[in-house]
Amino acid sequence: MATAPTNLNIDRNVGNFLYPEQHTRDAGRGLTSKTIDYIVNVKEEPEWIRDFRMKALKIFQEKPMPTHWATNDLENIVFDNIRYYLSRGDTKRTWDEVPDDVKETFERLGIPEQERKFLAGVEAQFDSEAAYSNVKEALSDQGVIFVGSTEGLVKYPELFKKWFGKVIPTGDNKFSALNSAVFSGGSFIYVPPGVKVKHPLQAYFRINAENFGQFERTLIIADEGSEVTYMEGCTAPKFESSTLHSAVVELVAMPRAKIQYITVQNWSSNVFNLVTKRGLAHEEAEIKWIDCNIGSRLTMKYPGVIMKGRKARGEVISIALAGDDQHQDTGAKMVHAADETTSNIVSKSISIGTGRSTYRGLVHVPKHLKNCKNNTECDALLINQGSRTDTYPAITVRGTGNACQHEASVSQVSAEQIFYMMQRGLTEAQAMSLSVNGFVNDLVRQFPMEYSVELKRLIELEMEGSVG
C-alpha cells in the first residue's frame, strides 16, 4: 500500500475536561447488599425495587464472566474499586436551577444550545442522576412522558412495571444483572397511541468522577401507532484508571409503532462500555437502532430486536471506529418470532493503528414461520499494518419459506484512490479522510443532520494527524 499512516488519533478531546467532585450522596466503593440498601434508601424507592435489585445482585455474583467467547480484557475490571452511586440531589426542570459547574459541563458539550435548536426534550445525566430534564410543553400536553427511570417507576408504576425487565430479563447476562442491581438514571418514555413526536428526544450521559460506574436504565414504550426518535450521547474525561459504563435499554413498540434509537458513543479511551440493548416489536411495528461507537477502551454492544408480531421489522445500522488500543466489539441480534418479519443489519467498521473491531451477530428464524427475511452486510476497513478486524456471525434458519443472507468483506483504502486525489493537489491526510468518509457515508447520512455533520468532522479530525 502506498499510504502507511501512523499515530492516528481521533478527536476524543471534546469531552476531556472535568470539574471537582461535589457529591452529596456517595455509596462508596465496592458492591454488597449494603450498597443496594443505600441506593434504595437515598432514592426513596418502593420495596419491590429493593427485592428486584437484591435478586439481581445474587445473579450477578453467580454468573461467570463470558470470557469463553469474549475478550479476556473483561478480567481487568475490578468490581471492588468501582463507585456505584454518586449524585448531588434532584433533577432540575430549568437550566437556571442546575448547579453552575454541571451547567457549564453541558454548555461545553453544547446540550442547551441543541435543545433550543432542534430537540423536543432533553435529559442530562451527570454521574448517577439526571441533573436536568425537560420536555416541551406541547408534548406533555399530548400525554408524552419523558422522565428519569426513578421518577418513572414511582409516578407511573402501572406503565413501568408492565415492561420493566421483560425485554431484557435480569439474568440475560452478567452485566444486565449488574445493571439491574444498581441502576440509576436513564430515561422512561411513554408515547400515547397515535402520537407522533416530530423532534427527537435526547439524553446526554456524562461521567465526571474517577472509578465511577454509570448504570443507567432506559425504558421506552411507544403505544399503538405512535412514533418517537431518541438520541443519546456519552462522554467522560480521561482518568488515570478505568471507568465502567453498563446500561440496559429496553424498547417496546406496540402494534404499528415506530422507534428509532440513535447512539453516538464517544467515551474516553479507558471506559469499559458494556451495554445490553434490545427491543420488542409487536405487529407491524418497527424498531431501528442507529449506533455509532467511536470512544471507549472496550465496547461490547449488540443491539437486538425481537420481532414478536406479524410483519414486524427490525434494523441495526452500525458504525464503529477502533483506534489505538481500542476494541469495538459490536454487532446485532435479530430474533424472528412471527411470520413475515424482516430484519436488516448494516455494519461498517474502521480499524486504525492497533485498533480492533469485531462484528458479532445472531440471526434466528425458528420453526414453522413463513416469509421471514434477513439481510446482513458487514464491511471492514483496515488502515494500518497492526489493525485487526473479526467477524463472527451465527445464523440459524429452520424450515422453508424464509430467506437469510449474510455478506462480509474486508478491504483497505485503495492506493490508487489516494494517488488519484494527491495527484489533484490534496494532501495525503485529506485524501485518506475523504476516502474513509466515503466508506461510511451512506450510513452517516442516516443519522440526523446535526449528528452526521459532527460525525464527518470527527472522522476528518481523526485523519488529520494520521499520516506521518
- Residues within the interface to another protein (CB under 8 A): 1, 68-69, 367-368, 380, 382-385, 387-412
Nearest-approach distance from CB 154 to another protein, in angstroms? 40
Cell 443532520 -> residue: 449
Residue-wise DSSP of 414-425: -HHHHHHHHHTT
| Comparison of 116 and 367: residue with beta carbon closer to another protein | 367
Nearer to another protein, 365 or 458 (CB): 365
Minimum distance between the CB of residue 351 and another protein, rounded to whole angstroms?
Answer: 9
Q: Which is nearer to another protein, 116 or 368 (CB)?
A: 368
- CA-angle at 173, arms to 76 and 327, nearest 5°: 45
Of the pair 218, 387, the CB lying nearest another protein is at 387
Q: Give phi and psi for 438, each to the nearest 5.
A: -65, -35
- Tell me whether residue 7 or residue 396 sits nearer to another protein (CB atom): 396
CB closer to another protein, 87 vs 384: 384
Given the complex with another protein, which of 195 and 335 has the nearer CB atom? 335
How far apart are the C-alpha atoms of 324 and 232, rounded to whole Å? 24
Query: If you compute the radius of gyration of the chain from its CA atoms, what whole number of angstroms results?
Result: 22
When the beta carbons of 165 and 331 are compared against another protein, the nearer one is 331
Instruction: Name the nearest CA neighbour of 289 among 308, 321, 263.
Output: 263
Cβ–Cβ under 8 Å, residues 376 and 387: no
As a whole number of angstroms, the distance between CA 288 and CA 343 comes to: 10
Minimal distance in Å, beta carbon 368 to another protein?
A: 6
Phi/psi at 165 (5° precision): 70, 10
Beta-carbon contacts of residue 112 (< 8 Å; ≥ 6 apart): 95, 103, 106, 122
Cα 427 to Cα 435: distance, rounded to the nearest angstrom: 12
**What angle do helix axes 100-108 and 111-118 make, rounded to 10 degrees?**
70
d(CA 220, CA 166): 12
Q: How far is the CB of 140 from another protein (least distance, A)?
A: 47
Whether 248 and 219 have beta carbons less than 8 Å apart is answered as no
Q: How far is the CB of 384 from another protein (least distance, A)?
A: 7
Cα–Cα distance, 3 to 7 (Å, whole number): 13
Which residues are 132's β-sheet partners? 92, 124
CA dist 263 to 38, 230, 238, 343, Å? 31, 8, 20, 19
The residue among 237 and 393 lying less far from another protein, judged by its C-beta, is 393
Q: Minimum distance from CB of 251 to another protein (Å)? A: 27
Smallest gap, in angstroms, from Cβ of residue 398 to another protein? 4
Residue 399 CB, shortest distance to another protein, in Å, is 4
Closest distance of CB 363 from another protein, Å = 9
